[in-house]
A and B are shown apart, each in its own frame.
Chain A
Amino acid sequence: MSRLQQRLADLAGRKALIPFITAGHPRPDDTVAIMHQLVKHGADVIELGMPFSDPMADGPVIQQASEHAIQQGVGIAETIHMVKSFRRQDPTTPVVLMGYLNPVECMGHQAFVDAAKDAGVDALLLVDSPPEESDDLLQRLRQESLDQIFLIAPTTTEQRQAMICQHASGFVYYVALKGVTGAADLDAQAVNADVIRIRQHTQLPVAVGFGVKDAASAMAVAQEADAVVIGSALVSLLHGCESMAAAETAIAEFLGPIRTALNSL
């Protein structure tokens, strides 16, 4: 069982909190420290965004964070290196890399898998690489026991849901709304119904993300889901933090109530 699978299996009914941050944002030197703070304040898994110049599935907050990180010289190699640094102090918290395909293609599938494995990365989520186009990469990831996370959207048909679940490992990520990351309108009732539908196709844990921004929305979608991903709201908050001390306070104040809310379920 992979570190990610083990972590989610160990939850035993407790809801998992998966914060997302963009590597290198707001400052490359703080990313590893921010990751440790996320764990301290209740993260079960960390999703680390690999900055990409053309993030088509992301809203303005994560777009700007990516641009900012790229300007400071952070790309796929630096992101992987940050995971390696994080692992020196934290050998247990799973890290999922999230991003777009082109940087991975550019690096080469095997080179990426080798570097990710060596650094202690646990899983990969590529927004623009559906299962149909992922054969080669998927095979190489499996060889090294890395999980590949796939998205299911509100528009995904039952038939596609079944196909995606067959390819997925680690967990299945349900996109809670039609739109980009950080969008506003979330229909929690519909999301919960959708999660129940997805469970017909898989035993894997189901995470919900896109549009989850605080304790209330996290609690609303976690009625059915096993895990909640929070990205844009956190990235936006970190954007305003001038120092690591400010970031520490912001993370504690932001994640604390969400963790408490999820624990109450």
Chain B
Amino acid sequence: MKYSDYPDSRGHFGQFGGIFASETLMHCLTELQEAYALLKTDDAFLAQFNHDLADYVGRPSPLYLAERLSAAAGGARIWLKREDLNHTGAHKINNTVGQILLAKAMGKKRIIAETGAGQHGVATATVCARLGLECVVYMGEVDIARQAINVYRMKLMGAEVRSVDSGSKTLKDALNEAMRDWVTNVDDTFYIIGTVAGPDPYPQMVRDFNSVIGKEAKKQFAEKVGGLPDALVACVGGGSNAMGLFHPFLDDTAVAIYGVEAGGHGLETGEHAASINAGKVGVLHGNRTYVMSDRQGQIIETHSISAGLDYPGVGPEHAFLNESGRAQYVMINDDEALAAFHALTRIEGILPALESAHAVAFAQKLAADLAPEQNIIVNLSGRGDKDVHTIAALEGVEV
């Protein structure tokens, strides 16, 4: 079986993935599996999806050679896949544009979503506004406080943002609450999950809608340079931007693949969000994957400077790529990400999201170890406007 052939018919990526959901949701997950299986090869559906990506999202996004960043790193050439230039400022819109078409085809009138950094919430509120659908976004109380601008953007677009104050009051709890809503309103509600996690078919569906990133990058690289890049780098929280970049290259085994987890304050402090590097195999939010839990199996709170990486699980396909050795998962801590944020801003004039800054930081290290004629593609998954207040506060600057 090729890497690109996964998952199997029941949503398994090796031992990972699957469907671990409440019985009440099983029927609608089956309906979703069936609807997606039909539509993903339907010409009219794909034509509409591609049209929306081009005219609404603004694709293709450029593949940009960051010459000064490369020079500063002192090694390989670093290319940035500019997902930050998409409508709403991140890769998340690729997936919501796809899922909303699916929701519409299935006749669902009400949309729910969870969000951490708020990018997925904004991307969901956006497509709901465009189609005139009711939209409810669940967001942890802690995230609402640190991502106030995105909360306001969602409200401007007509979404209702529901604050979640259970558990750690972050992304995982927002996901729990969205699941509770779904189980209650299963007949008319479509749940747009924002990452490559959740029960099947979400991990493959979210990956497929985001794989436009990797497909474009592959084509653009072949045109600009020829052949294949030597390495791919993307940050991994749940892992949707990373899967989107990686998937079209999985069978090109000469291309090295690096997923960058949030090292937070450092692995030794216990304050991080590195589920693959420090978690163990478990079950969370509908799938089997690496999970950050204590010895009793309780999910533990994670830490990252970036809300979008602050999640105690990881998409099951990443778990599989790690176990199979096809991809390597490394860590970048808060300080390194912050330094990369400043570097990219100062020497390239590109203000990256703190999530994406993790990928940039690792790419700088990797580039230094490679030869000047080698090439690294970094997924610049989002722009940093949303993080300006966080960074200003950290540095004691009043904005």
Residues of A whose CB lies within 8 Å of any CB of B are 51-57, 59-60, 63, 67, 70, 75-77, 100-107, 127-130, 132-133, 150-157, 160, 164, 175, 178-180, 183
Contacts and interface: CB of A to CB of B under 8 A. Distances in A.
B23 A151 contact: yes
Given A54-B176, A128-B283, A132-B10, A104 B19 contact: no
- The interface centre, meaning the residue of A76, A77, A129, A153 with most chain B CB atoms within 10 A of its CB, is A153
B183 A179 contact: yes
Name the prevailing secondary structure of the B interface residues.
Answer: mixed
A130 B26 contact: yes
Given A178-B184, A178-B187, A130 B23 contact: yes
B229 interface: no
B346 interface: no
Contacts of A59: 180
Given A102-B282, A105-B283, A130 B19 contact: yes
A64 to B, nearest CB: 8
A56 B22 contact: yes
Contacts, number: 121
A52 B18 CA distance: 21
B255 to A, nearest CB: 33
B296 A178 contact: no
B164 to A, nearest CB: 11
Given A101-B20, A156-B27, A56 B176 contact: yes
B297 A104 contact: yes
B142 to A, nearest CB: 16
A52 B176 CA distance: 12
A227 to B, nearest CB: 18
Interface string B176-193: 100110011111000000
B297 A180 contact: no
A162 to B, nearest CB: 14
Interface in B1-23: 10, 18-23
Interface in B21-74: 21-28
Contacts of A67: 166-167
A236 B297 CA distance: 25
Interface in B176-228: 176, 179-180, 183-187
Nearest to A63: B166
A57 to B, nearest CB: 5
